[in-house]
Amino acid sequence: MAMTPEGEVLARLLRDTVTQPAQVARLILGRKLPTDALWTGLVLVTVLSVLMVAIMGALVPSSPEAMAATVRITPFTYAVILGGSLVITIFALHFTGQMLGGQGALADTLALMVWLQVLLLVLQVAQLIVSLILPGLGSLVAIATLAVALWVLVNFINEAQRFGSLPRAALTLILALLGVGLGLSVLLGIIGASV
């Protein structure tokens, strides 16, 4: 089955996001997408991520021990936690980058985080397929996905903040994650979850 021209562009952009994340970041930032569209995109990728987790849970069963240790939450609660954590992460990355001398706008960070979530959705689909065909390799794909996500995210931070320094972008990520941890603690406290 032949891929449509739009599909080919999307596939190339996804591949280039992994192999040349800085160039893709500049391409996305150059589009100057409307902020409303970016927030809508964030909601969409949040909903799709929740659906993907539900599909993975239904198709790739966990062991009885893992099931017993798993906290059951509703899809709505998961969407609130995921969406909230993404919003907190976006603000944390933006403001931490600004404190470290970054020049980017909040919309820059938002645009790149939405695209990163699209990439992660595609990688989740790959993980699901691998887990169904070769169950033992699913966890290796998850580890590879994490490594790819970190690589892309550090490059995206560097471009969004116009640092010109991957180490400064990595420091931004580390400091922002500390802030996100604090923010998620507050969010989970508000919705009544306990750890």
This prediction has a pTM of: 0.88
- Asked if 122 contacts 186 with a C-beta cutoff of 8 angstroms, the reply is no
Angle at 12 between CA 173 and CA 56, to 5 degrees: 65
State how far the Cα of 3 lies from the Cα of 116, in Å rounded to an integer. Answer: 23
pLDDT band at 131 (very low <50, low <70, confident <90, very high): confident
- Report whether 133 contacts 85 (CB < 8 A): no
The answer to whether residues 179 and 98 touch, using CB atoms and an 8 Å cutoff, is no
Structure tokens at 44: 């969409």
Please report which confidence band the pLDDT of residue 136 belongs to, taking 50, 70 and 90 as the band edges. confident
Does the pLDDT value for residue 135 go beyond 90? no
Candidates 143, 113, 131, 117; CA nearest to 49 is 117
Q: What token pair was written down for 150?
A: 């970190």
pLDDT confidence tier of residue 49, bands split at 50, 70 and 90: very high
- The secondary element (H helix, E strand) that includes residue 21 is helix 21-30
